[in-house]
Amino acid sequence: MAMGCLGFAAAICGGDLIIKDYVKENVAERSRKNLVGNKVILTKYFNKGAMLGAMADNPELLKGMTVFGVGSLAGAWMMVAGKRGHSLQKLGLSMMLGGAGSNAYERLKSGKVTDYIRFNVGTEKFRNVIYNVGDLAVFAGTLLLLLGEGLSRDC
């Protein structure tokens, strides 16, 4: 199970980087292309900060925090990987590691992260946030990790 989850993390990371390369080459910045009716929109935005542009004014600190965060996720994954069971935690950490790895690679390489998905649902504030697959994997992985921790019988 653990090696399969690590492969899943690599697939998320690699897949997101491939999509980001496609978007950088083929999509105009701030353009709008409907993908699923009018509910999912393909666009291109370069985020120089963390979530919602946080820390864009301190890129070196952000890079350091990014490396620390990915290292912490890798350490947490290794701690859980050898344990029997804990499937939700392993899967959640793998998703988080893959998504964070993709964003970290791009941030360290170019100082910015390519975001390309908007959801045209919910509040106006939510509709204006632009994501990438890595962000979505981190979010979904966090939910799985928390669910797994909540269901875990270990103390």
pLDDT digit string (tens) for 57-96?
999 999 999 999 999 999 999 999 888 888 999 999 999 9
- Structural domain of residue 64, as residue ranges? 2-151
Q: How many domains does the chain have?
A: 1
Contact 41, 35 (CB under 8 A): yes
What is the per-residue pLDDT across 107-118, written as a single tens digit (0 to 9) for each? 999 999 999 999
Question: pTM for the complete prediction?
Answer: 0.91
